[in-house]
């Protein structure tokens, strides 16, 4: 499941509890995956700039693109950006093989 802070007005850090204005937030990718081996299932979380090449853009710029798209299209559904993110993850990762250094 893909997580990206999408609050356009304020942000909340679930780890430290810090809050602030969205314009002051630094966005980064965090991708949590269930990885299947021949007989085992593993939970792996990959985060930070190492995911930039997979999406072709930094998390900061992706957030900006989604925000701009929502404004230009007049999208009022608050869940629409989440749908775009899920679609991006499905396109980039599902059904493909990757080697992650652990």
**Structure-token match 């990885």, residue found:** 35
91 versus 79: the higher-pLDDT residue is: 91
5 versus 15: the higher-pLDDT residue is: 15
DSSP 63: H
Query: Does the residue 46 lie in any domain?
Result: yes
Separation of first and last alpha carbons in the chain: 19
Task: Give the range of the structural domain holding residue 48, as residue numbers without chain letter.
Answer: 10-93
Query: Does the residue 69 lie in any domain?
Result: yes
Phi, psi of 37 (to 5 degrees): -105, -170
What's the pLDDT band for 47 if we cut at 50, 70, 90? confident
In contact, 42 and 55? CB cutoff 8 Å: no
Element (H, E) at 71: helix 59-73
Query: Does the residue 1 lie in any domain?
Result: no
Element (H, E) at 86: helix 80-93
């Amino acid at each position: 499941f893909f997580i990206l802070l999408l609050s356009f007005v304020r942000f909340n850090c679930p780890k430290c509890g810090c809050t602030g204005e969205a314009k002051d937030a630094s966005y980064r990718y965090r991708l949590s995956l269930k990885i299947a081996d021949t007989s085992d299932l593993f939970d792996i979380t990959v985060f930070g700039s190492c995911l930039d090449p997979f999406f072709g853009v930094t998390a900061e710029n992706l957030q900006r693109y989604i925000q701009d798209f929502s404004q230009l299209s007049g999208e009022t559904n608050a869940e629409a950006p989440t749908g775009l993110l899920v679609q991006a993850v499905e396109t980039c990762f599902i059904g493909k093989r990757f080697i992650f250094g652990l």
